[in-house]
A and B are shown apart, each in its own frame.
Chain A
């Protein structure tokens, strides 16, 4: 197995929002989608996924509905609400500037690049 980066605190929720922004998914699907879009570079604690999902649902960034999974089982599907979409945009912007600032500070990249 390749080296995987542990998640920074707070990033799991951003990843979930990003994963769901491409279409509604059930819990395991979200896990797979995150692995896929991060090219398997991020390590997700599977147990921590669900509490994060519930938190997002409680705060009304995610909507849920029951549907059928690919193996014909009842499954709970998550999708973005308008508020979730807005949050995703805002968080992505702030993440981008943080990452750039961190990179600049650590001398990995000239500032403003």
Chain B
């Protein structure tokens, strides 16, 4: 076997020396034969001629010999490639259409593939990454409709419970968000970072490139604050200056000493620049869920067994602390899913759509090749008669397909190399911290795909050539060929309708989201968090400090109004209508503490009662405002004004609140569902748990107001201000992925529609060319022009109609898949299915009408002369 491969190889690279050897051998043979013949009395010339005649063709012998060694295959392919290239050059229209359709399809598919590959397929670049898991709590019912039982961060208390109790997971590490504010030389910098338990980096197998790793003591209470920098951040922010090791970064009590720099190849989600140690036991807000928890599976345990153990632990927690854990579930998943943002399914669906586009392109090119094969039937017949074997002809069709496929593939790869730089952002992959770009895997996929695609496209014409009648015929195109090309067109129509439907559903979904009634006016609305000093003394003074910040903000030029809010006013929360027995199951409302100006700042109308006023002070009767959802849930059909609510940490220390107003439901881009019951109470009457609040501002002159407010917040609270977030930008970010998905599908479906229409056009145009004589006769005999038009249009229209039926059926079958990529609307919207089919059939009408009109306008005499 080895020898055969070597021989084959030699036959390719060492052809010349093989040829020489054969020449020598044949020359000797001829000479010896000539001598023998001369011995029998022939003249030298006679003998030499005779010897050559007996030997036969030297070239044929060589050819057969080379075939034995395998090189002939290569020779033939080279000839076929050269022939194909010549053909392609001579029909630039066909070539352009074929290359562009395949290029578009292959480009889109390769782009999406390389994102999916990097994010969902390749192993994470960490030590023994397959044993790493991601543990979450699961949101109870009441979170957004698209997200009941979403993975949710875990509370520090939960994480440390897991860390001490779990046997199926060796190590439990936690990550919390952290942004360092650093004010120096009149500049405020926000440095992105993470707080991590000291075992996280060792668990991932990451060692600092410079300096030292975290020691357990770095996280101990009272230890000197330290930080480790990512390589990228160290290089871009500090110019790779080694003097930064040992320096202190940050303002006031946030300042910490730099002890290390991570290696350049280490990438992490959200690309944090700063890593600080976190101690679960001393983390603030112990029962607030804000930590991402990961761990390493113990020997002999699987994700499933770990999930079972963690469920048991959670039910124990739920029994002990029902207020915190009731309704909350748990999940254990491979760590990859945290990096993949759980959107794997969406990405696979998008990959499916691009594959559909590619299939339409392939069928389109197959149709073109088929038409060409039919047109070339006389040529094939001639070549067969001249001794070309059918295998040789089929081989040539395949080579043609592969050439077109590769050409399209090259175009596609150029496109993908460009697209892959912008795509990850909208595929919810922008924060993976994973490397997505042009690499060997992408090139391999693209080239492999092109070859497969090219050969697939050549199958139809190849089958056609196989059935070729060997006798040279001028008339071409049998019934079977018609069925094949008709089938191709029909499938293109059907797939284009599936794409159009998906695009329509996404577009409608996006419009719905975009023009959703938010319940407030996001324009000019800005939000920032303010914090005071910790400790009980700080907490007592906080109410005054916060109110002072609000008042100074409200009087800043450019600010229309300012208002305060505490998102979690009691913690843990216990809120229920007082007139219902505690056992009644209710939708657990959310409680927020706000000031008198809150609804005015948001522009949210009150649908009943009054807003809070300055008189709703501590000591005055406790009051509350509920939203419409709460009013409908607790007191259906009744007037909620004057009703009472019980609010407290536990039923024992509950306060009674009287409802004085009803506000519109608001969609604030939070985890909580828009129409979920909300209870608002005055900031001044609410119990505070920590010195923090959210400051909402309505600005009409952002450029001037924002820096003034940041300076003021720093002066008033003694802490640098967090950045001001714009509500419109937040909404836009949330809609970004949806919008781009909608745009991408519109591009895909437009492409599919165009290709399918071209297929229909081709069918009709072909019918006209083929039947020109018949049309001439009919016209000469006085046929109506309309009848002639129908004659050639009929087939295209029939194909469009049957394709449309197939497409709508396919789209309906895929409705559930569509449903998982749209968030705000139903996938069962009959108008969109109907509309998609109508758009396709309409395009088909135009595509058939153009050639049909040409037929009807033909002049009978010249039509009769056709062919």
Contacts and interface: CB of A to CB of B under 8 A. Distances in A.
Interface residues of A, number: 20
Interface in B23-53: 24-26, 28-29, 31-33, 35
Interface in A49-82: 50-51, 54-55, 58, 60, 69, 71, 73-76
A27 B65 CA distance: 14
B12 to A, nearest CB: 15
A73 B57 CA distance: 23
Interface in B328-364: none
A51 B58 CA distance: 11
Contacts of B32: 28, 69, 71
A15 B31 CA distance: 23
Contact of B25 (A48, A51, A60, A75): A75
Interface in A28-55: 28, 31, 45-48, 50-51, 54-55
Contacts of B22: 50
B249 to A, nearest CB: 73
A26 B35 CA distance: 16
A58 B69 CA distance: 8
- Judged by DSSP, the binding face of B is helix
A51 B68 CA distance: 7
A59 to B, nearest CB: 8
A47 B28 contact: no
B69 A27 contact: no
A105 B28 CA distance: 44
B54 interface: yes
A58 B4 contact: yes
Nearest to B59: A47
A54 B64 CA distance: 10
Given A51-B61, A51-B68, A58-B7, A46 B54 contact: yes
A47 B61 contact: yes
Contacts, number: 60
B830 to A, nearest CB: 68
B25 A50 contact: yes
Contacts of B57: 47
B7 A50 contact: no
B56 interface: yes
B21 A50 contact: no
B69 A54 contact: yes
Interface string B2-13: 011001000000
Max chain A CB contacts within 10 Å: which of B29, B35, B58, B65? B29
Contacts of A50: 22, 25-26, 61, 64-65
Nearest to B35: A71
Given A45-B56, A46-B55, A76-B25, A51 B31 contact: no
Shortest beta-carbon contacts, A-B, top 9: A47-B56, A51-B64, A28-B32, A28-B29, A46-B55, A47-B61, A54-B68, A54-B65, A51-B65
19 contacts: A27-B25, A27-B28, A27-B29, A31-B29, A46-B29, A46-B56, A47-B55, A47-B58, A48-B64, A50-B26, A50-B61, A50-B64, A51-B61, A55-B68, A69-B28, A71-B31, A71-B35, A73-B28, A74-B28
Given A28-B29, A51-B65, 19 more contacts: A27-B25, A27-B28, A31-B29, A46-B33, A46-B54, A46-B55, A47-B55, A50-B22, A51-B61, A54-B68, A54-B69, A55-B68, A60-B3, A69-B32, A71-B31, A74-B24, A74-B28, A75-B25, A76-B21
